[in-house]
Every structure is written in C-alpha cells, then in structure tokens.
Structure 1
C-alpha cells in the first residue's frame, strides 16, 4: 500500500472578482494565435466580445469556434480541431460551462498527439507530447473542469460518455471569476451547484481520497452547502456567488485527484442516452446513491452531516442528517427526478442493462465506499427514476 499521494493542479489559478481581466496577459505568455472555444450563449452574453477585446489589446490574432451546443461530443472535438489546424493556432482559451472546457481539453491534446479522442478511453492511447497551452474560464459554479485532468466526451456513434483522465488534459491555467456566473439562470445555478456538491462529497468518500483532497473537499462542501440556496434565490448576491465559485473550484481540485464515485458512474450513461445535462443527472442521483453507500462510509458521511448542523449527533445520526439535508436542498432547488424530467419509463427500463454496463466500464463505481454489483446498479436506476426528494 502506498504511503504517498499526488496532488495535480493547473500551473496558474486566478480567482475572485475581476480575475477575468487577467486572461489577455495569461494568453500572451503562452502563444500568439488563439483558438477561442465557446458556444452561442456566451456570444449572446457578450463574453466572446470581451475576450476578443483583451486579445486585440495585446496584438494577438485568433480564431473562434462556437459550435458547442450541448454536452460535449466527439463531433464538436473534430470540428474545433479542424479550426485549430486551419488557422495554425498555438494556444487555446475556453470560456463557458464544462462542455466548452471539456471540448477544449480534448482539442489541446489531439492537436499535438493526434488520433481520435476515443483512442484515449481507458488509456488505450497515452498523451506523450506536451498538449497545446489551454486557459480555462468557467462561467458556472459547477463542473470544476477548469481544475481537473478529466474530460468527458460523448461518443456519438455508440452513445457512450467517455470519461478520460490523464495529466495531459489538465489546463495550464484557470480563471475563476464569480462575476461571470451572474448570467447563469436559476435552473443552471441549481444543477451545477449540486454537481459541485457531489464532486466534493464523492471526493471525500472516495477510496482514492487523501489528506490534501480531504482538506479541499470539506472546505468545498461547507462553501457550497452554505451558499447554493442563497445564490439560487438571490442571483445577484455576488458575495454568495464568490463563495460558491470558490467551492466549485476546490471541489474540482479535490475530485480531480481523489476521483469521483458511483454518482458519476451512473450519471454519464443517462446523459449520453437521454441528453440530460450532467449537472442535473448528478443532482437526481446524489441522495439515493448516498443512501445506498451510507453503511460503508458512516464516519465520513458523519463528518459531512456535522457541517450542516450544530447539534450533537452520533455518527449514525450525523450520516443520516447529511443525506436528509441534501434531499431537502434538492427539493428547495426544485431538482426533478428522471420521470419528472420527461424520460419515457419504458424506454428507460429497456436501456438499464446498457447503462449499467457503461457505468461499470467507466471505472468510477469501483472508487465508491460500497462497490455495487451490476444488479445493484440496475436497481438503483429504477429507484432513481421515481425518487422523491421530500
């Protein structure tokens, strides 16, 4: 058994109000021809114009790819890579949600290492050459992708979400400016916030956790739990948004090193087959998966529960309180279950065997304190379809 651990983070992280203004200088230090990867929503919100202004002020040339239109898939990666090559780019900036950042991570690796992104699934192909420099700028407090070496890309051909983790996918720099999250709608704020909470909790209960990730995960849990509902109800509360953004960043750093567990293993197949955004699918699953896992991680869940109350509780009581608190939070955030989302039950049941197999294949369930059998995963899918948060 190893007595050491590893903590990987971007080389540079700027965070806090106004940190977006550092983008131009960061990029100028890394290249001269920028590929800006984002989506139409970011363009409509004015973030592309503001990014281009910074590049223009520093005399940098650029190309723009705004084709990310949903959860990231390998078609977006191929399209963005073609723009990169056509314009002879040498640095990448991603701005937007996790979909934009994950797409950019894949392009940064493929630009210098070649192949198709599916080649890197399960480390069949390794990142050998230094990837193109990548500056990641999130506009949601959620995925934490700006601080991880993980990219999740849907394979359009076989409808599988590929979870790919190698050091080469880690962005060189991250800019986490809570002012950019002010534009996030309530629904997106809720889903990405619970996504970040699931990152932090799963990092803390993961079999791969270690003291450094524990420190980040516990801090993230406290920041997110204490501020998510406030941000949901008061979208312009910048103090709460700043704390939520910091919590999301810390959660990303935690799970990027300790990995995620069963929630994410179950979530990805739902997203691939039914196009449920990642944040929502994680939120739909988190309470039920914690109930399933509780007996195998009572002490750790008790630590989480005690962050939500000042009452003196036994470990069993505190673990139960943690699950109860998260269920109530999801209810207050109006998180739907799978049925309420509008998924056809018969179609869902028919796809459970494939989803269970894909979940196991992702590797994430093996990190869970209670490692499920494939039959237990199938039962969990059925439970989550009708799950009631209240």
Structure 2
C-alpha cells in the first residue's frame, strides 16, 4: 500500500440508505423549500410503478412537478437536448434522477447545462464548467452503476458515435436515496448485468494505478459483498437481504472508482455501446474476464486478493500466478451462473469496425490508469477475443 497517494478523497452526496428511504423525498423538498421538481426517468420506471411512489411523496408537498421519461439505455445527445427543451420551459429548482445510470447521467447533464449553457459536447473532460449544477437528488433503482455518488456523466454523441464523459465535483448529486425495495422488481437479466457491472467497478478501482488504501478497502469490501449476493438477487428478486447487499456493494464500488477512475473494461465498453447499443452492463460483463487475464501479470498480488475476496481457497504451495488466476476463474464462474453472454456474437460486429472502436477506446482516460500498460494492438486483440473478429493493423 502506498499512503503517499492519498491526497484528496471525494465522499459524494448526503446518503439515505435502507428500506423505506424513499420517504426522504418529501423531507428534502420541504426542508430545502423547493417549488418546482423535474423527474428524469425511463419508461420502465413508469411501468414498474416506481415513478408513482416518488410522485406520491412529491404530492405531500406544495411543489409542482413534471416528468421527462424518454431516457434510453445508452442516452444520447438528442435525449439531453429533448430534456433541456422541457427544462427550459418548466424551470425546475430541483432535479430527480430516478432509475439506473442512464436517467441519473441525463439528470446530471441537464443540471450542468441549466446553469452553464451550451451543449453537452462542450464539456467533455474534467472540470470544463464553471457554475454549480442545479440541485440533484439521485434515486437508483438498479444495483450497478454507482452514478448516484459519482462526479461523471456519460452520453453518446450521435454525430460521431462516440461516448463522451464530462466530469467535475460540481456535477455530483447533492442527495442520494438508496432504497432496496425499489430494486425488487428489477428483471433477472438486468439484475445480472448491472450487478456484474458493479463488480467491474470494484475490480477496476482496486487494480487502478490511482488506487490507495481508502479506495482499496472500499473496493475489496464491494467485491466480497457483490460476489456473495449477486446469485441470490438474480434468482430470487424478492430477496430483500440480497437486494440490500447488492445496493450497498454498488455504492461502495461507486465511491471507490469515483476517486480512482477505472480501466480497460470501461474504455472498451463505451465504443461498443455507442456503435452497437450494447447495454453498458452487458458490455462490461463480457469484457471483464478477458481484461483480467490481460492485466494479471501486472498485479498478481492484487488479483490474488480479489480471488480471496470472492471466496476462493488459495494454496500457499502454489505459484503466485496460479493463485492469482483464481480471480479470473471466479469471475467466469459467476458470469456463467447468472447467464451473462460469453461474447458479442449476437451483435454481429464486423471485422472492419474493430480498429475504429480500438482507436476510440484508446482516447479514454481509463486506459491511462489500467494496471498494465496498453497499446492499441492490445485493445484490438481483446476485442477479437470477444467478437470473433480478426483484424490486421
């Protein structure tokens, strides 16, 4: 451990955690004196009646409310523009991001644009905006993205088919309500993909070159919690204990990677989502074991710790690399158990698109903090392993 690396640590928004936490919506609105509330969500949240629960809390106050529910799985610049059209006419003083990472990311983008102007494409990178965002209350309904505590928003620029990231401390939600009861109706496939996405966050944060003792402790606890509860959440969605543990594990991972960035998995998943609309959780889940095998020689001790956190038995008589490789095997087994696809064959990605995707992946700052130094040729080989393509550079 290097204690010298710890210079600044972001703890995120005020948190309300536990069954029934949704009741704090009324408390926050009344305490802060908000008068106009805009909810950002997706159609699935409406169908699951979760939007109704939030609306019931708002109706207990004197605040007026409008809803923007047109957020898709991989939100685009067009979606942000449409949200801004409604925002500018309604003039809210509080935004509520309700759902998975996509609605919360769109809510972050809207909050920033409301006070800084311009287009979301103007703010790619870190701290490119000056003014505080509109106050944002984040209510996650999946245990996966950690977006409720992070300082980043990710949006696909449809003009370039590129996923851009804007970040800054002023972008983070001011409050986060984590109510596991809101995740009970999450479909099995989404529970699996978002849950493994949370595991990716924890593993990439733990192995990041920016990791330090605080983030390592959080990430390892997240790995332990997620790996020991994800199967139960997938196969018995009404298991409140497992759902609570998954939401907690996702939260820990979010706080960890908010301070460390991520790695090659996320760098590579963004072009897949931007060009082929692969769900973010699925993209990360498929890529994870391949990237872990690539990174293994650069941080075998850390991968051995990951294996132990995932419940694997380590043999002290075995070579370090053999014990470390048990982390990869544990992830593969977990993926198989919860029926994560083994590759991207369903998306019919042509050979000629691998190189452009690799170029886009190399633009990501996450490559710079990956534990093993990475070239574009490395990225191409990793894509080939998951798409069945063969590319010559």
8 Å Cα contact 1:37-1:95 kept in structure 2: yes
Aligned to 1:62, the other structure's residue is in SS state strand
Alignment coverage as a number of residue pairs: 383
Q: Partner of 1:26 in structure 2?
A: 28
In 1, are the aligned partners of 2:267 and 2:361 still within 8 Å (CA)?
yes
Q: CA deviation at 1:386?
A: 4.4
Shift of 1:339: 3.7
Corresponding position of 2:214: 212
Which of 378, 385, 388 is matched with 2:387 structurally? 385
Shift of 1:331: 1.0
- How do residues 305-324 of structure 1 correspond to structure 2 at under 5 angstroms? 305-307=307-309, 308-313=311-316, 315-324=320-329
State the distance in 2 between where 1:170 and 1:371 align.
30
Q: Deviations over 1:113-162 (max 9, x none)?
A: 11111111124x72211110000001011111101001110001111011
Q: 1:108 aligns with which of 106, 111, 114?
A: 111
Matched residue, 1:52: 55
CA contact (8 A) 2:12 2:255 kept: no
Contact 1:9 1:170 in 2 (8 A): no
Q: Which residue does the alignment assign to 2:94?
A: 91
Is the contact made by 1:9 and 1:148 (CA closer than 8 Å) also made in structure 2?
no
How much does 1:319 deviate? 1.1
Map 1:1-390 → 2, pairs under 5 A = 3-30=5-32, 31-123=34-126, 126-307=128-309, 308-313=311-316, 315-340=320-345, 342-345=346-349, 347=350, 349-386=351-388
Q: Is the 8 A contact 2:199 2:227 kept in 1?
A: yes
Cα displacement (A) at 1:9: 2.8
Distance 2:159 2:282 in 1: 23
In structure 2, C-alpha distance between the alignment counterparts of 1:46 and 1:71, rounded to whole Å: 22
Shifted more, 351-360 versus 187-196: the winner is 351-360
Structure 1: gaps (5+ residues): none
Alignment check: 8 A CA contact 1:74 1:154 kept: yes
**SS at 1:384 equivalent:** helix
| CA drift at 1:239 | 0.6
Deviation at 1:283, TM superposition (A): 0.1
Cα shift at 1:105: 0.6
Q: Secondary structure of the residue that 1:151 maps to in structure 2?
A: strand
Q: Distance in 1 between matches of 2:162 and 2:272?
A: 9
State the distance in 1 between where 2:315 and 2:27 align: 50
Alpha-carbon deviation of 1:3?
A: 4.6
SS in 2 for 1:9: coil
3-state SS in 1 of match to 2:259: helix
Greater mean alpha carbon deviation, residues 219-228 or residues 230-239: 230-239
- How many Å apart are 1:337 and its aligned residue? 3.1
Stretch of structure 1 that moved more, 271-280 or 357-366:
357-366
Is contact 1:63–1:84 with CA below 8 Å preserved after alignment? Answer: no
SS at match of 1:24: helix
Which stretch of structure 1 is more off in the superposition, 181-190 or 29-38?
29-38
Contact 1:303–1:318, Cα closer than 8 Å, also in 2: no
Structure 1: distance between partners of 2:376 and 2:31: 49
Q: In angstroms, what is the RMSD of aligned CA positions?
A: 1.6
Calculate the TM-score normalised by the size of structure 1.
0.95
Checking the alignment, whether the CA contact within 8 Å between 2:5 and 2:212 is kept in structure 1 is no
Measure how far apart 1:70 and its partner are.
2.4
